[in-house]
Amino acid sequence: MNSRERVSVVVNPGDLAEKVRSYREFKKVIKEKRRGTKNDDNLSPEEKEARSIVLDIYTRHVNQQIANFYEYGRIIARKPGKTEADLRVLELFGPGINISEIKRFGERFASRTMLRIDRFL
């Protein structure tokens, strides 16, 4: 029996961290715009609704992009010798998680992680 295992590598975790960080920052900008739209008395109800629809589209797109990066988080989490850059990337996927025990991307917890991803798609 010939068993082949797929090997995946994240070549530049620094670039990955920058992409994830940028999407998270953009998500904050969208939230601020949403708050500003609700509080803007100069807009008609139709304009507020139109802006809300556009912001919903952007929010969905940003969430999908962030969810797409979770695959790379799993690859890095399973890597035996993690560099400082690897740990920074993992922290972006779960702010405040205990890096010493990265269970979130393990086989046993994969379904729970996917539920979290589904929550915001």
The 10s digit of each residue's pLDDT in 105-121 is 555 555 555 545 545 54
Is 119 in contact with 110 (CB distance < 8 Å)? Answer: no
Cβ partners under 8 Å of residue 99, min gap 6: 87, 90, 91
How is residue 72 written in tokens? 């790379």
Task: Using alpha carbons, list the distances in angstroms from residue 1 to 6, 7, 112.
Answer: 16, 19, 33
State pLDDT tens for residues 35-91: 999 889 899 999 999 999 999 999 999 988 888 887 787 777 777 787 888 878 877
| Contact between residue 10 and residue 90 where contact means Cβ atoms under 8 Å apart | no
Distance from C-alpha of 46 to C-alpha of 37, rounded to nearest angstrom: 12
Domain coordinates in residue numbering, the chain:
13-119
Q: Rounded to two decimals, what is the model's pTM?
A: 0.68
Which residue is it, tokens 């900008």? 29
How far is it, in rounded angstroms, from Cα 31 to Cα 37?
A: 10
